């Protein structure tokens, strides 16, 4: 298992934006968006990998990933 696999990645349709929006709430304040759900997810996964690489390069401790129940109550 890769460290990126521990973090929840959310892709949802936004009626307001008329596109899919994606985020990883434990690592990113923003995210990505687009018309193709799978492409948006792939872009999000790449962004998560890049954020984790920055953490490693800066020798910073990774934030703890929340689990399913924790995400639902947030």
- What span, in angstroms and rounded, lies between the C-alpha atoms of 22 and 37? 9
Strand boundaries in 6-55, DSSP class E: 10-14, 19-23, 32-34
pLDDT at residue number 71: 65
Joined together, the tokens standing for residue 1 give 């298992």
Joined together, the tokens standing for residue 33 give 């968006």
**pLDDT band for position 12 (50/70/90)?**
very high
Alpha-carbon distances of 1 from 11, 50, 59, rounded to whole Å: 21, 17, 21
Q: Is residue 15 part of a domain?
A: yes
Split into its structural domains, the chain has a count of 1
Domain extent, residue 17, equals 3-60
Give the CA diameter of the chain: 39
Q: Is residue 72 part of a domain?
A: no
Q: Is residue 27 part of a domain?
A: yes
Tell me the per-residue pLDDT of 27-74, one tens digit each, with 9 for 90 and over.
988 889 999 999 999 999 999 999 999 999 999 999 998 876 666 665
């Amino acid at each position: 298992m890769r460290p990126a696999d521990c973090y929840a990645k959310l892709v949802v349709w936004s009626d307001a934006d008329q596109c899919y929006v994606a985020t990883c709430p434990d690592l990113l304040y923003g995210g990505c968006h687009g018309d193709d759900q799978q492409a948006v997810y792939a872009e999000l996964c790449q962004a998560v990998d890049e954020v984790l690489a920055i953490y490693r390069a800066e020798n910073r401790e990774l934030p703890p990933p929340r689990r399913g129940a924790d995400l639902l109550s947030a």
